[in-house]
Amino acid sequence: MKFPSEAALRKAIAFVATLGVGVATYIAIVESGGGSPVCLAGGSGCRTVAESSYSHIAGINVAIFGIVGYLGILATAFLVSDAARFAGFALALGGFGFSIYLTYIEIFKIEAICQWCVGSAVLMTILFLLNATRLIAYAGTTTGAQAPLREA
Amino acid sequence: MSNQREREKRREERLQAESKDAATDRRERMLKLAAGAFFLAIVAVVVVIVVASSSGGGGDTELEGVSEVNQELSGIPQNDLVIGDPKAPVELVEFGDLQCPVCKAFAEDVLPPVIENQVAKGEAKIVFRNFTIIGPDSTPAGTAAVAAGAQGRGWNFIDLFYRNQGAENGGYVDDEFLTAVAKAAGVKDIATWNQERNSPKATEEVENTSAEAQRLGFQGTPSFAIKGPSTTGLEPLGTLGNSGEFEAAIEDAS
């Protein structure tokens, strides 16, 4: 099986993580009431989600966790080492799991969907797949050449 | 000479093979760790979701915050949708939509200190007026509040509605939900409440207060206006940010 080159994977990870930082920052600003703190006609589900008790964990806006996670993944994309590969995978795995939990909460607990939060969940899923591919294909290599895949 | 070269070559090959083995080992360890983390993450997500779904489930009409709301508002006079001493010098008017999540946040976090201090002391009264902007369900919610107000339980109804608010236009505002909120809010005569909330008079009142909010130039909810000895009629305040700003506005108006 042939994988994309590590450089290509790292570029893709950096690109998607940058989008993620943007989306999470937008959500953080909107949620903290940076916009006008009113309900307007035809409001979207984001207000409902943002005002719900699930929007903060230990007093911290969940979007802040998102920003930190995306920034961390972005940083690992710039480094070539096993530590970076594993850190990227671990952060994306955590973010992916957290996104599943948040989407579950949106659908079944708050019963409202915020399209920005769904967007972040999609980006995190992509990042998880990219980082998992990077780890599986290149763990243990120093040159960036694909590791020999063992048969069986 | 050639013997030595041969030896060196073999040594190099051996070193290379060893480092290759070490790399393979490292790779295997790392992938095992990753697989372990992956399964751990799956288990963690499943556990958290199971815990979340088992807590606070229950039926549709199971309401939250009933005793808290009724306790907070006990002992403060109410008539129609006015809370506070009818003779209080300052009148703070809230134009709100029961479906609005920001109004919910105001009802839970911003207004309670104002009610506890200035309203309970008789310095101000707060009037709730429906400004239905979110959608068609805002009107039956509003008329239900008006009808609860007629029995002196308007603010209990409003606060309990906010505590149990669902998604905007999510279809939760039905007879069952409204009746549960009214009963929990302490509306005694449910038959009369039903009659009044379905009357054209109640709908007209909700439409009138919405029109008034538009006349004042408001576009979103909650929007506030204030009237007192130091104001010229009902002055629009807009949407203030916190309890302190409301307390200051009431002082300025008195």
Q: How far apart are CA B252 and CA B144, in angstroms?
A: 33
Mean pLDDT, range A129-145, rounded to an integer:
82
Residues in Cβ contact with B95 at an 8 Å cutoff, skipping those fewer than 6 apart: B129, B130, B131, B209, B212, B213, B216, B218, B221, B222, B223, B224, B225
In B, which residues are within 8 Å of A108 by CB distance? Answer: 53
Could you report the predicted ipTM of this complex, rounded to two decimals? Answer: 0.73
The angle, 0 to 180 degrees and rounded to 10, between the axes of the packed helices B154-163 and B175-185 is 120
CA B8 to chain centre: 76
Q: How far apart are CA B65 and CA B49, in angstroms?
A: 24
pLDDT confidence of B134, banded at 50, 70, 90? confident
What is residue A49's predicted lDDT score, i.e. its pLDDT?
Answer: 75
Give the one of B37, B167, B223 whose C-beta lies nearest to A48's C-beta: B167
What is the overall mean pLDDT for chain B?
88
The alpha-carbon gap from A18 to the nearest alpha carbon of chain B, in Å, equals 24
Contact A40 B219 (CB under 8 A): yes
3-class DSSP state of B59: coil
What is residue A43's predicted lDDT score, i.e. its pLDDT?
Answer: 56
B243 C-beta neighbours (distance < 10 Å), count: 18
Our CA angle for B26, B27, B33, nearest 5°, is 90
Of A23-27, B58-62, B124-128, B142-146, the range with the lowest mean pLDDT is B58-62
Whether residue A152 is predicted with pLDDT greater than 60 in this model: the reply is no
The model's pLDDT over B43-102, given as tens digits with 9 standing for 90+, comes to 999 998 888 777 654 445 678 888 888 888 888 999 999 999 999 999 999 999 999 988
Contact B134 A41 (CB under 8 A): yes
Question: With an 8 Å Cβ cutoff, is B26 touching chain A?
Answer: yes
Mean pLDDT, range A24-53, rounded to an integer:
69
The alpha-carbon gap from A109 to the nearest alpha carbon of chain B, in Å, equals 8
Mean pLDDT, range B142-148, rounded to an integer:
94
The model's pLDDT over B14-48, given as tens digits with 9 standing for 90+, comes to 888 777 777 788 888 889 999 999 999 999 999 98
β-partners of residue A39 are: B221
Instruction: Give the chain A residue whose CA is nearest to the CA of B43.
Output: A97
What is residue A41's predicted lDDT score, i.e. its pLDDT?
Answer: 67
Residues in Cβ contact with B2 at an 8 Å cutoff, skipping those fewer than 6 apart: none
Note if the bond before B222 is cis, omega within 30 degrees.
yes
In A, which residues are within 8 Å of B97 by CB distance? Answer: 39
Contact A97 B44 (CB under 8 A): yes
What is residue B29's predicted lDDT score, i.e. its pLDDT?
Answer: 86
Q: Give contacts of B 175-194 with A, CB under 8 A.
A: none
In A, which residues are within 8 Å of B102 by CB distance? Answer: 37-39, 47, 51
Does the CA dihedral B112-B118-B119-B120 come out positive or negative?
positive
Contact A110 B167 (CB under 8 A): yes
What is residue A145's predicted lDDT score, i.e. its pLDDT?
Answer: 59
Question: With an 8 Å Cβ cutoff, is A40 touching chain B?
Answer: yes
Contact A97 B101 (CB under 8 A): no
A14 neighbors A70 (Cβ within 8 angstroms):
no
In B, which residues are within 8 Å of A96 by CB distance? Answer: 41
Whole-angstrom CA distances from B116 to A105, B62, B77, B161, B236 are 33, 27, 12, 20, 23
Our CA angle for A62, A23, A118, nearest 5°, is 75
The alpha-carbon gap from B29 to the nearest alpha carbon of chain A, in Å, equals 9
Contact B23 A51 (CB under 8 A): no
Question: With an 8 Å Cβ cutoff, is A48 touching chain B?
Answer: yes
Number of C-alpha atoms within 13 angstroms, CB side, residue B33? 16
Tell me the count of A-B CB pairs closer than 8 A. 115
Q: How far apart are CA A14 and CA B81, in angstroms?
A: 55
